[in-house]
Amino acid sequence: MTAKPLPYSHKGDLTTGPVQGHLIRMSMPMVWSILAVIAVQLTNTYFISRLGTLELAAISFTFPVTMVISHLVFGLNIALSSVISRLIGEKNFDDVRRVTLHGTLFGVTVAFIVALITWLLLEPLFRILGADETLMPMIRDYMPLWLLASVILAVPVNGNSAMRASGDTVTPATIMISMALLNFILDPILIYGWFGVPALGIKGAAISTTIAYTYALIFGLYAIIYKKRMISTDSLHLDKLRDSMKRLIFIAIPASIANIIQPATSAVITAFLAIQGHEAVAAYGVATRVEALAMLVVIALALGMAPIVGQNWGAGIYSRVHEAISTAIRFNFIWSFFIAVSFGLFAGHIAAAFSDDPVVIRQATLFFWIVPFSYGFGNLVFGWSSAFNAMGLPQRAFFMILVKSAITIPAAWAGGHFYGAAGIFWAIAITNFAVGLAAHFSSSRAMREMEPAAATV
């Protein structure tokens, strides 16, 4: 019996038609999805910053930890999207529903285990990062609830990956945007105590995020089960669980490890900045949140490029692979230069929007004057990593990201030791330039060398 096709499955062929058109169609809704995820953290940062510098420093300490957890789960999203898209191409729709079910359950399990371990090690973990007794009470108020929220979010995030693999990028974007708007509405009410609600401070931000993620869970389950029919509801299909896990883990493990390297590096940099004072940590927290918001277009393009690269690489149409990567790189440099100039011109105003502490403003401004002009080069590592994951070569993507981290950490330590916070910012910029250029030329050469071998497989 032939399984009933999934909605949007007819849009899965990316080996024909204009490459630029596919890039736009796949990338634009992802801009809004990523924007929504970042907006939750940025909204929390903004409203908490109004409470004071200590509160801002406390929330800044949580960013590296929350990023590591989020990126760890995102490795499974990459794997789920890859496996589902290939199954749709093979028209194995029953397997699509089964793997989506197992992948979603696996994602929740991983998120729960990571959250539990983090909760058990909360005190020593943040002590290592440099949080002192002044900040720990606020961190203890925020993190346990956020960890609960991260487990809840694992369901809609994995469901969204499956829907994007089916060609539907609008529904996932709608879910994430409405989630971010709900968080934006609830944040000031719960943090400041509007409309008669008790003022909960930093804990209020965690509660609003948990509520927003729960909304995304309900909306996401409805969409993927009833609207898209992408999860099997007749049984758990435990007899094929091993097959599902084998398909997913092959990609998820290297992708997850690669994904956590960057936020782990950010955590180390935060520890280096903690030596310079709470203001330096707060400034870095503000700068990296704004940076993530500005770079979401490039990130969305890299992620949208992946299925185009993967399908055409598998079909042996290498000219379209080169066209997709080249188009993405050109846009990356144009956008990065625009962002760098904008940050340079309005650095002080951007920093002042998040803090009235003159030290925080000065150091955040310094970051915006130094680091952004290296964005175009640093983004090459992420873009090529996305392409290699799509080609089925996650080990090469992992290696590039590992090398960048291995150079950034000692460079940042040396910069901080000799020149303080400014030295750390310069170390980040110089590493972006050097590693980005090396990654681009070595990856271009490696891809050309692998084409004949791939064609014979």
| pLDDT category of residue 453 using cuts at 50, 70 and 90 | low
When pLDDT is averaged across residues 408-416 and rounded to a whole number, the result is 92
Would you put residue 193 in left (φ > 0), alpha (ψ -120 to 50) or beta?
A: left
**Rounded to 5 degrees, what are φ and ψ at 275?**
-65, -30
What is the residue type of 260? Answer: I
**Under 8 Å CB-to-CB from 307, ≥6 apart: which residues?**
14, 26, 81, 85, 165, 390
**How far is the C-alpha of 26 from the C-alpha of 305, rounded, in Å?**
8
- Say what the pLDDT of residue 331 is: 93
Pinpoint the alpha helices (H) of 166-295.
170-192, 202-222, 241-274, 278-294
When pLDDT is averaged across residues 207-229 and rounded to a whole number, the result is 89
69-73, 203-207, 278-282: the lowest-pLDDT one: 69-73
**How far is the C-alpha of 277 from the C-alpha of 106, rounded, in Å?**
40
Q: Is the pLDDT of residue 237 over 90?
A: no
| pLDDT category of residue 210 using cuts at 50, 70 and 90 | very high
Q: Mind listing the pLDDT tens digit for each residue in 270-322?
A: 888 888 888 888 888 888 878 877 888 888 888 888 778 777 777 678 888 89
Residue 231 DSSP code: S
Q: Is the pLDDT of residue 4 over 70?
A: no
Strand, coil or helix: what is 429? helix
- Say what the pLDDT of residue 13 is: 65
When pLDDT is averaged across residues 71-96 and rounded to a whole number, the result is 75
- Say what the pLDDT of residue 179 is: 93
| Cβ–Cβ under 8 Å, residues 224 and 231 | yes
**Under 8 Å CB-to-CB from 432, ≥6 apart: which residues?**
371, 374, 375, 377, 378
9-23, 178-192, 239-253, 378-392: the lowest-pLDDT one: 9-23
Q: Is the pLDDT of residue 9 over 50?
A: no
Which percentage of the chain shows pLDDT scores above 90?
23
- Say what the pLDDT of residue 429 is: 94
- Say what the pLDDT of residue 281 is: 85
CA 337-342-347 angle, 5° bins: 130
- Say what the pLDDT of residue 76 is: 81
Q: Mind listing the pLDDT tens digit for each residue in 186-197?
A: 999 999 989 888
* Extents of the domains making up the chain: 20-448
**How far is the C-alpha of 76 from the C-alpha of 85, rounded, in Å?**
14
Q: Is the pLDDT of residue 455 over 70?
A: no
CA 59-61-64 angle, 5° bins: 110
84-98, 121-135, 271-285: the lowest-pLDDT one: 84-98
What is the residue type of 38? Answer: I
When pLDDT is averaged across residues 195-216 and rounded to a whole number, the result is 89
When pLDDT is averaged across residues 351-368 and rounded to a whole number, the result is 87
- Say what the pLDDT of residue 208 is: 93
Strand, coil or helix: what is 2? coil
**Under 8 Å CB-to-CB from 54, ≥6 apart: which residues?**
134, 135, 138, 278
Q: Is the pLDDT of residue 431 over 50?
A: yes
When pLDDT is averaged across residues 112-133 and rounded to a whole number, the result is 84
| Averaged pLDDT score across all residues of the chain | 84
- Say what the pLDDT of residue 250 is: 81
- Say what the pLDDT of residue 8 is: 47
